[in-house]
Structure 1
């Protein structure tokens, strides 16, 4: 299995189940979209190398798995730009 990406402490404390045991998100959460506001461009989107190095696409906000292909054509109500797009690559520190 791959090495998980580092997570903020608050988010890490919320994760009750291993990612492999999360359920897939369905139409109740994911909405079809034709804009750049898709799961793949969301701050909460992550991917991991699962068993046999098969990629697992996840939503950290909903603690759910995203079916392959859905990350390109769907989003949820919690979609948000990542920090790089919100603040710029290297924001000035005051």
Structure 2
């Protein structure tokens, strides 16, 4: 069950600089189970983290991760949230 009346990702606050740490492996925000994109007012895509309910700075989703990084589950259980 999801949270009722949760704000849309575009309304989430930006992520603080101390929450992300550099990563030189494939364990980055882009490969995390909690990663998603949202659409800004100007039609620009903005990376976001569903776990933290915060927007990720542009470009940081390619080179950084947080302590709650979680491997995507599509291959293990055949589940894809984008296709639902």
TM-score, L = length of structure 1: 0.72
Partner residue in 1 for 2:24: 34
Partner residue in 1 for 2:61: 71
Distance 1:74 1:34 in 2: 8
Unaligned runs of 5+ in 2: 80-84
For the pair shown, the structure with the greater C-alpha radius of gyration is 1
Distance 2:49 2:13 in 1: 11
In the TM superposition, 1:1-94 aligns within 5 A as 9-10=1-2, 13=3, 16-85=6-75, 87=76, 89=78
Q: Please report the RMSD computed on the Cα atoms of aligned residues, expressed in angstroms.
A: 2.0
Q: Which structure features the higher share of helix residues?
A: 1
Distance 1:27 1:15 in 2: 28
TM-score, L = length of structure 2: 0.79
Q: How many residues align?
A: 79
Unaligned runs of 5+ in 1: 1-8
Distance 1:83 1:68 in 2: 24
